[in-house]
């Protein structure tokens, strides 16, 4: 498995060889320096810890500053671990860039979805609501949420109104349609979670 941390720039469209419009999400993918390598003998599993985005030294805590200094890299804003099958291919201090992927690769993108605040059941869960005429007073109400007497409670996981969005979401099987190595930018077909400038993790099979 291979992966990289990126920043969602936004959505646009490109035209393929047939002249058809393809909606894409543009992601600034890396560079992501390798800060630490986790081995099965020492940590019990194999993974690489990578960083993304420059952090000011004056806002970096001493433990983190020492961690980055040990790896010989500048302080990073984001730190994430990615499980890999073989850590022998990686080296501390080496940077992962957009050339990790190529056109046609299938990837998964993980990010935090847009927050929509407190919403009712119609917007949150897609309920149809009640009637709009003939004296109806339950246009956007959820309706009954339980039984009248037995068991006289509301069951767990009942779909009700509440906070919507701001959750970790993974969209799988997206296609890489463009890779710009010079600018460290990749274009992925379709939409990915998160608002513009948010951080995402792009991962795929080796």
Please list the helix, strand and coil fractions of the chain in percent, rounded to the nearest 5, in that order: 15, 40, 45
For residues 112-127, average pLDDT: 95
pLDDT given for residue 40 in this prediction: 87
Torsion of CA 78, 201, 20, 10, to 10 degrees: -30
Residue 71: the pLDDT is: 87
Q: What is the mean pLDDT of the chain?
A: 90
- pLDDT for the residue numbered 137: 85
Q: Which pLDDT does position 95 carry in this prediction? A: 87
Kindly state the percentage of the chain with pLDDT values over 70.
100
List all residues 6 or more positions away from 46 whose beta carbon is below 8 Å from its beta carbon.
38, 39, 40, 83, 84, 85, 86, 87
| 179-187 mean pLDDT | 91
The residue-averaged pLDDT of 39-55 equals 88
* DSSP 3-state of 127: coil
Q: For domain 2-118+158-204, give the fold.
A: Elongation Factor Tu (Ef-tu); domain 3 (2.40.30)
Distance (Å, rounded) from C-alpha 190 to C-alpha 188? 6
- pLDDT attached to residue 106: 93
When pLDDT is cut at 50, 70 and 90, the band that residue 193 belongs to is very high
Domain ranges of the chain: 2-118+158-204, 119-143
pLDDT attached to residue 206 = 63
* Predicted local confidence at residue 55, as pLDDT: 87
């Amino acid at each position: 498995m291979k992966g990289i941390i990126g920043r969602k720039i936004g959505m646009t469209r490109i035209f393929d060889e047939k002249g058809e419009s393809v909606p894409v999400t543009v992601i600034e993918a890396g560079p992501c320096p390798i800060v630490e390598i986790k081995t099965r003998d020492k940590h019990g599993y194999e993974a690489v810890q990578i960083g993304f985005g420059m952090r000011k030294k004056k806002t970096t805590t001493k433990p983190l500053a020492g961690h980055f200094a040990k790896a010989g890299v500048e302080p990073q804003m984001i730190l994430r671990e990615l499980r890999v099958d073989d850590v022998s291919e990686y080296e501390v201090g080496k940077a992962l860039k957009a050339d990790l992927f190529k056109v046609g690769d299938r990837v998964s993108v993980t990010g935090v979805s847009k927050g929509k605040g407190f919403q009712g059941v119609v917007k949150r869960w897609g309920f149809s609501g009640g009637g709009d005429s003939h004296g109806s007073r339950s246009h956007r109400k959820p309706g009954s949420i339980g039984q009248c007497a037995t068991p006289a409670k509301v069951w767990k996981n009942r779909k009700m109104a509440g906070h919507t969005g701001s959750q970790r979401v993974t969209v799988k099987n997206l296609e890489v349609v463009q890779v710009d190595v010079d600018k460290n930018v990749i274009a992925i077909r379709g939409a990915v979670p998160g608002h513009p400038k948010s951080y995402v993790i792009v991962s795929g099979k080796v």
